[in-house]
């Protein structure tokens, strides 16, 4: 019996963290678009469908100790790896299942609660129509009224030019049976030869260039899961909205935060055309045609309730941000999925100056002399754009003092795992209820700092960090060249640890990473 249903499962997916799936972030999407969020001050429930390597749900469970997290994947290797990570961190609020979508939707013996959040990243357009129906049935059965669904997926019309390319990859795989990652390798080599032979399809679609380069040089395991499923089929937003309407779901907005601001990416002429459409799904679909959208991050609510302007204002006042980049590295020309957006210096600079001093919520930003008179909506837009650009992580004032022990235990597990692989490039934070990226040296420095009797200075930690690097048979790089002597390597490690103390220690403290 083929348990894969045409899904490429012979190689594991890549370990990725997706901040859009965090409860705090999804609540921001709801509030930003004027809808009632879920109360996160009390215990809540969360389910991730098709969790892949399980990195996201492990981070979220560690960063939200007040929540009860559940997740399922049908790949036993994924489940085993995710459980091992949860056990290393000692998580007690995460339950993982090895089950298919059909089993989840139809198993009457499955003892699950009703959920405040159900999320799935990317997988909806990778599986069969039958499995899509099982997903909708699961949502219908288990999502609470007022509950939030996050569903990201490959979208049309942005994938239109790529459909023949994906078909070629699948047909090549059928013609040359092997492990999927090797099939991608072979297909990539063949595509290079086709380019050299001037295949008209490749020449006539210059928009393919980025995807062709990714296929030729990208992570093979990722490419298998992005392209090699038999039932891979990008969908229009209107299709997804109709599917979820059967589960009484209302579309409330995109987790791609700038999409809330049509004036940033649609001209007056385009907005006028969109405004002729009164049906929400048609409005979104038309915007996708204007933007040639290829990936959507849709947020739905079961029984969406409008907040009203006063409640929305009160909620946004509690929204805060933590600067996770050095102030000097934040460019006010934001390169976003909607295109380039120029931030107004007289608005963004006072906000960034305040965030450089420490975390700030909107009600605190409003007290800054340069920002007095600014409306709350403008400050919310500033934070939304900074968050979308990766300059800040958002938090809610009423949640920033959640216990940090489980997040810190998870961070130690990530740091310890760095001795063996560089897969988990993340730390968990109870302040923002999610994760923040962490470099290889940053994680090893964290590990060294948590050892018994460690002295927390760059000079004391650097020798231990170099020993950890050397223990993996690695050498440090400088100007792209591997260093040879212990003295050179230690000098480079010390330089990087000092830089970390100067630029990242503030983030560690403000996000309670350690």
Do 29 and 124 belong to one domain? yes
**Domain edge (last residue) among 376, 399, 422:** 399
Q: Which of 133-142, 144-153, 186-195, 457-466 has the lowest mean pLDDT?
A: 186-195
Same domain membership, residue 140 and residue 29 = yes
pTM: 0.93
Q: Is 59 exposed, middle or buried (0-12, 13-18, 19+ CB in 10 A)?
A: buried
Q: Name which of 504, 307, 437, 435 is nearest 25 in CA terms.
A: 435
Residue 474, SS3?
A: coil
Distance CA 121, CA 115 (A): 17
Q: Has residue 435 got a pLDDT over 80?
A: yes
Same domain membership, residue 364 and residue 418: no
Q: What's the pLDDT score for residue 1?
A: 41
Question: Does one domain contain both 273 and 139?
Answer: yes
pLDDT tier, 82 (very low <50, low <70, confident <90, very high otherwise): very high
Structurally, how many domains does the chain consist of? Answer: 4
Place of tokens 């972030």: 25
- The 3 state secondary structure assigned to 260-299 is HCHHHCCCHHHHHHHCCCCCHHHHHHHHHHHHCCCEEEEE
- Is there a single domain that holds both residue 41 and residue 130? yes
Q: What is the pLDDT of residue 12?
A: 53
Answer yes or no: do 465 and 497 share one domain.
Answer: yes
Q: Quick one: which of 50, 68, 61, 65 has its CA closest to 86?
A: 61
The verdict on 413 and 481 lying in the same domain is yes
* Same domain assignment for residues 289 and 419: no
Report yes or no on 11 lying in a domain. no
Place of tokens 């405004």: 275
With beta carbons less than 8 A apart as the criterion, state whether 461 and 448 touch: yes
Q: Backbone phi, then psi, for 401, in 5-degree steps?
A: -110, 25
Q: Render pLDDT for 114-169 as a digit per residue (tens, 0 to 9).
A: 999 999 999 999 999 999 999 999 999 999 999 999 999 999 999 999 899 888 88
- Assess contact for 207 and 163: CB atoms under 8 A: no
- Express each pLDDT in 265-277 by its tens digit: 999 999 999 999 9
Contact 394/319 with Cβ under 8 angstroms? yes
The strand ranges marked E within 359-478 are 360-361, 392-396, 426-429, 434-437, 477-478
Host H or E run for residue 342: strand 339-342
Residue tagged 């990201």 (tokens): 152
- pLDDT of 505 reads 95
Can you tell me which residue has the tokens 């999804």? Answer: 26
Residue 121: strand pairing partners: 152
Shared-domain flag, residues 218 and 118 = no
Structure tokens at 187: 């297909």
Contact 383, 316 (CB under 8 A): no
**333, 395: one domain:** yes
**Tokens encoding 38:** 């879920």
Q: Which residue has the tokens 């018994």?
A: 452
Task: Show the domain range for 28.
Answer: 19-157+232-302
Which one of 202, 227, 252 terminates a domain?
A: 227
What length is written for the chain? 514
Distance from C-alpha of 418 to C-alpha of 411, rounded to nearest angstrom: 11
145 and 166: one domain?
no
Residue 185 confidence (pLDDT):
86
> Could you tell me the CATH number of the domain that includes residue 129?
3.40.50.150
Is the bond leading into 157 cis (omega within 30 degrees of zero)? yes
Distance CA(249)–CA(52), nearest Å, equals: 25
Do 253 and 331 lie in one domain? The reply is no
State which of 302, 323, 348 marks the end of a domain.
302
């Amino acid at each position: 019996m083929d348990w894969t249903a045409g899904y490429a499962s012979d190689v594991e997916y890549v370990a990725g963290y997706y901040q859009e799936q965090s409860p705090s972030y999804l609540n921001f999407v709801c509030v930003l678009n004027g809808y009632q969020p879920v109360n996160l001050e009390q215990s809540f429930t969360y389910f991730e469908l098709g969790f892949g390597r399980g990195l996201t749900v492990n981070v979220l469970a560690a960063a939200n100790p007040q929540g009860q997290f559940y997740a399922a994947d049908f790949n036993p290797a994924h489940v085993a790896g995710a459980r091992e990570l949860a056990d290393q961190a000692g998580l007690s609020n995460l339950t993982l299942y090895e089950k298919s979508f059909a089993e989840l939707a139809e198993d009457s013996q499955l003892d699950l609660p009703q959920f405040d959040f159900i999320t799935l990243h990317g997988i909806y357009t990778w599986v069969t129509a039958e499995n899509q129906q099982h997903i909708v049935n699961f949502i219908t059965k288990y999502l609470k009224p007022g509950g939030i669904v996050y569903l990201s997926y490959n979208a049309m019309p942005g994938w239109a030019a790529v459909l023949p390319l994906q078909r070629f990859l699948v047909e090549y795989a059928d013609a040359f049976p092997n492990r999927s990652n090797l099939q991608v390798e072979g297909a990539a080599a063949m595509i290079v030869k086709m380019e050299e032979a001037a295949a008209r399809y490749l020449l006539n679609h210059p928009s393919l260039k980025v995807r062709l380069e990714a296929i030729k040089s990208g992570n093979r395991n990722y490419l298998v899961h992005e392209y090699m499923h038999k039932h891979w089929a990008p969908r229009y937003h209107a299709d997804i909205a109709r599917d979820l309407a059967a589960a009484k779901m209302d579309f409330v907005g995109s987790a791609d935060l700038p999409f809330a601001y049509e004036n940033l990416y649609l001209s007056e002429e385009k907005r006028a055309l969109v405004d002729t459409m009164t049906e929400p799904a048609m409005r979104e679909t038309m915007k996708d045609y204007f933007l040639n959208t290829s990936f959507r991050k849709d947020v739905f609510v079961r029984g969406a309730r409008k907040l009203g302007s006063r409640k929305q204002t009160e909620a946004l006042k509690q929204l805060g941000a933590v600067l996770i980049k050095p102030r000097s590295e934040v460019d006010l020309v934001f390169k976003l999925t909607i295109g380039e957006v120029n931030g107004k210096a007289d608005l963004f600079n006072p906000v960034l100056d305040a965030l450089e001093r420490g975390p700030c919520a909107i009600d605190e930003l409003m007290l800054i002399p340069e920002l007095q008179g600014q409306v709350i909506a403008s400050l919310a837009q500033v934070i939304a754009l900074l968050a979308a650009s990766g300059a800040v992580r958002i938090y809610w004032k009423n949640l920033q003092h959640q216990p940090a022990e489980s997040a810190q235990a998870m961070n130690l597990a990530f740091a310890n795992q760095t001795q063996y692989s560089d897969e988990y490039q993340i730390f968990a934070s109870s302040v923002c209820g999610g994760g923040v990226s962490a470099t290889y040296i940053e994680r090893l420095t964290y590990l060294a700092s948590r050892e018994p009797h460690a002295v927390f200075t760059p000079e004391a930690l650097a020798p231990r960090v170099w020993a950890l690097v050397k223990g993996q048979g690695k050498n440090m790089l400088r100007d792209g060249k591997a260093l040879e002597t212990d003295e050179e390597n230690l000098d480079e490690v010390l330089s990087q640890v000092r830089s970390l103390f100067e630029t990242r220690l503030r983030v560690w403290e403000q996000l309670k990473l350690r």
